Amino acid sequence: MPARCKNCPLRNWPLFDPMTDEEVNFMQQFKTGEMRVDPGTTLMNEGSDSPQRFTTLKGKGLRFKTHETGWRQVISFVLPGEFIGLQGGVMNKMQHLVESGTRMILCVFDRKALWTLFRDHPGRAHDQTWMAALTEHVLGESMAALGQRRGIERISRALTRLYGRGAALGFLNGSKMPLPYQQQDLADALGLSLVRTNKALQPLRDRNIARGYDGQLEILKHAKLREIATLAPSAKPVVRPLI
């Protein structure tokens, strides 16, 4: 039986804007169910056709584009609390896939229902736009990383960011967090070859700065890692609405 929004396990994390009871009830109307998927399931494909939108409740996934020449660009890592399917109405036959990397549980909303949200609940509609703007911002940062930074910097940045997001979602276990991605995923996200990714990871391992193995990401020297990534010292994740 699907959990009620009232008991949503995500809602009370400090990463998310608090919601009033009224808002929770409102969202509950739109929830048409829950979906559980195994690793490697395609959640969105050529989004325009999908009648559903999702919010990730549990598990991790990948958002990426592919090309007939064989490459794959990972656009972002999908973690709990993320909304999937906004682009649905926009894309034509272009490829933008979302795939699960672990078992996932997703909250399912109906596409049409979401439209009425614009009519009846401007605040939530605004949140939707707000999230889109945040995504734009994040993608812009990623572009800058790809365009302007070298391999080792990109990797350090990616690990730092993933760790930060994981921390905000309570995934941390000591200095470790579960990271169900492979080096190939990281490579495709960073625009590096698998071999180079591995080789760039090595000095981080050897110098006990950070390491990823056995489905875990461990960061031992945060400051050092940020320094290598030329990232500003702190920057907490932005508190966002949950849709």
Single residue of 198, 216, 220, 221 touching DNA by CB under 7 A:
198
What whole-number distance in Å separates Cα of residue 77 and Cα of residue 65? 13
136 binds a second copy (CB under 8 A): yes
58 binds DNA (CB under 7 A): no
Say if residue 200 is exposed, middle or buried (CB neighbours under 10 Å; 0-12, 13-18, 19+). buried
38 binds a second copy (CB under 8 A): no
Residues 163-182 contacting DNA, CB under 7 A: 182
Which residue, chain included where needed, has tokens 């909304």? 83
Q: Which is nearer to DNA, 22 or 214 (CB)?
A: 214
Single residue of 3, 113, 195, 238 touching a second copy by CB under 8 A:
238
158 binds DNA (CB under 7 A): no
Tokens for 205, please give them.
Answer: 């391992």
Q: Helix, strand or coil for residue 91?
A: coil
Show the site string, 77-106: x = touches a second copy by CB under 8 A, - = not. ---------xx-xxxx-x-x----------
Which residues pair with residue 138 across a beta bridge?
none
Element (H, E) at 210: strand 210-213
| 3-state secondary structure string across 13-49 | CCCECCCCHHHHHHHHHHEEEEEEECCCCEEECCHHH
Q: How far is the CB of 75 from a second copy (least distance, A)?
A: 5
Contacts with a second copy by CB under 8 A: the residue count is 47
Q: How far is the CB of 45 from DNA (least distance, A)?
A: 20
Binding span for a second copy by CB under 8 A among 35-43, 121-129, 172-180, 201-209: 121-129
195 binds DNA (CB under 7 A): yes
In the chain, what is the straight-line distance between the N-terminal and C-terminal CA atoms, in Å? 21
Whether 107 contacts 242, CB under 8 Å:
no
Q: Which is nearer to DNA, 69 or 92 (CB)?
A: 69
Contacts of 212 (CB under 8 A, 6+ apart): 159, 179, 183, 186, 201, 218
The backbone region for 202, taken as left when phi is positive above 0, alpha when psi lies in -120 to 50, beta otherwise, is: alpha
192 binds DNA (CB under 7 A): yes
202 binds DNA (CB under 7 A): yes
184 binds DNA (CB under 7 A): yes
Residues at the site binding a second copy, with contacts judged by CB under 8 A: 65, 67, 69, 71-73, 75, 86-87, 89-92, 94, 96, 115, 118-119, 122-123, 125-126, 128-130, 132-137, 139-144, 146-148, 188-191, 230, 235, 238
Residues at the site binding DNA, with contacts judged by CB under 7 A: 150-152, 182-184, 191-196, 198-202, 205, 213-214
